[in-house]
Chains A and B, each alone.
Chain A
Amino acid sequence: MFIYLILAAAAILSIFPFYWMFVMASNHNSAINSLPPAFIPGAELVTNFKNVINTIEFFGAMWNSLLVSTITTIGVLFLCSLAGYAFAKLRFKGRNFLFFAILVTMMIPPQLGLIPQYIIITKLDWLNDMKAIIFPGLIDAFGIFWMRQYISSNVPDELVDAAKIDGCSHFRVYWNIAVPVVIPAFATLAIIRFMYIWNDFLWPLVVLREESSYTIQVALRGLIDNYVRDNGMIMSGTFWATVPLIIIFLLLNKLFISSLTEGAVKS
């Protein structure tokens, strides 16, 4: 019984901010800024959201986030599985050293190169350009590590050798034999990477300066920059920016949870 109490309390505290976001997103400011504040949903959902659209380019920013996260994720899946395949199945000089070098890069905090990275992006003329997020986002040491582990233990050497004897090129062996086998590993990496890019804030804040290029994270910040704090509007923005993530999560929650535990426990 006691266990239920703890779990129920934890579940409620975890969900409550979502509920409360919805309550405020659907209430008028006067109801929010009164004592006691509103605790049940109101009727201002549409009005508040209209105010959001008038304040920030909400749909544009959501689209930008979706675009950047999707392209980066697909790129990462391809490049990491390709490199993982090379490290797992191909023999070449310096293979172990190069793999070790990739692992070492995981120790480096991303802020260390922040300023020169910004200068490079400026020099490339990529400010306000999605490329500024996509290309640096393709470097993923963990992804290569993850793919190498998965490919070494799930793609049999015999299969690879047989395909080579039949005259398959190395790329065809990768594409036709390794890729179908690593689909589950793709799912894990895709989730981790997509969430990471979607949630990234510091880097987009630095390189995206024009409103039309904002990702949703940067755009949301625009909601709280006003002098007049319209909390109903602010909450409406955060609520609708969170809803798609929650829907995806609820649809895929088993995959989500198992993939993250795999990634965490094995590394």
Chain B
Amino acid sequence: MLEQIKSQTQKRRKFWNEERKEAFSGYLYISPFFILFAVFGLFPILFSFYLGFHKWNGLGEMEYVGLQNFKWILTDPIFWKSLSNTLIMWVLGTLPQIIVGIVLAYALNSAIIKMKGLFRVSIFMPYVTSTVAVAIVFGVMFNSQEFGLMNVIIGWFGMDPMSWSTSEWGVKVAISTMVFWRWVGYNTIIYLAGLQGIPKELYEASVIDGASVRQKIQFITIPMLRPIIILTVFTSTIGALQLFTEPLIYIGRSYREEGITVVLYLYREAFANLAFGPASATAIILFIIIIVLSSINVFITNRIGR
């Protein structure tokens, strides 16, 4: 009897050896991510791909329609409008962000500047606000009426008031400005961190060679910052493709064409029109666009790294 128990515990001990225990703990500790991801990530994604080929309003029967949803979207001028709006706002919002961010980081990094802390905090502050609040505030600033702040300001320069909230470019400029204002400080801080990683000797050597400020930026700063610039282009591109809060708050429930973005289009299809099929197809197309742009980015990064 005793022998039996002994051999059993030995067997158990053999099964639960240190290696097994460690592996079990390992799987246990990472399992919450995989369980949650399976439920709220992977399953929804697969289901989206399934839904993209079906007609469904969320209640009745699903009906297989093949590629019809995609055909429908790709022939919908508003989808193309949303795509081109997204890309235009990406360019308008992102490019100035990078240029201004680098200039500001360069200025903040120069040794002679006093009150660095104060400048840094002020420039970074827009990042720490709620997106909806920003969109509302800028919405009021870009009021189309004469007393709208932007119209008052352009009035000082002798320009006529613009209809910011209804004209083709007014809407895009307003939304891009919100994005720019909110993110420029964030990028500045990241560039600043990158600048501080550049060895001072490089600048000292260039001073001896008689380089101008412009030459220093062109031949030392920009090349050394390249990996970080690529990173910010990458993150801001993905961010811009998902633009939603600002346009929704600014143009409101009318989903006006001047400002509709791809995600807004998706949201409208799903929750205003209850067309879950086309909405899922839009999500799939968005996913493909992001994958393509990310791959291009990775490709470029790898080439520059070598």
Q: Which residues of A contact B (CB under 8 A)?
A: 3-4, 6-8, 10-15, 17-18, 20-21, 24, 32-37, 79, 82-83, 85-87, 90-93, 95, 98, 102, 105, 107-120, 135-136, 138-139, 141, 144, 164, 170-171, 174, 195, 198-199, 201-202, 206, 216-218, 220-221, 223-224, 231, 234-235, 238, 241-242, 245-246, 248-250, 253, 256-257, 260-262, 264-265, 267
Contacts and interface: CB of A to CB of B under 8 A. Distances in A.
Contacts of B22: 90-92, 170
B89 interface: no
Consensus secondary structure, chain B interface = helix
A80 B244 CA distance: 28
* Most A CB within 10 A of own CB, among B51, B126, B283: B283
A11 B122 contact: yes
* Most A CB within 10 A of own CB, among B27, B130, B252, B266: B130
Contacts of A206: 271
B193 A116 contact: no
Contact of B132 (A86, A114, A118, A221): A221
B32 interface: yes
Contacts of B266: 111, 114
Given A102-B33, A220-B130, A112 B110 contact: no
B190 A17 contact: no
Contacts of A3: 107, 110, 112-113
A261 B113 contact: no
Contact of A7 (B47, B104, B139, B245): B104
A224 B135 CA distance: 11
B58 A119 contact: yes
Given A4-B113, A92-B22, A112 B284 contact: yes
* Most B CB within 10 A of own CB, among A24, A198, A242: A242
B152 A115 contact: no
A231 to B, nearest CB: 6
A15 B130 contact: no
Interface string B113-133: 100001111111110111111
Contact of B228 (A110, A224, A246, A265): A265
A202 B244 contact: yes
Given A111-B283, A261-B189, A116 B51 contact: yes
Contacts of B248: 201
B249 interface: yes
Given A14-B185, A15-B122, A265-B194, A238 B136 contact: yes
B118 to A, nearest CB: 7
B193 to A, nearest CB: 4
A4 B115 CA distance: 10
Interface string B245-289: 100110010000000000100110011000010011001101100
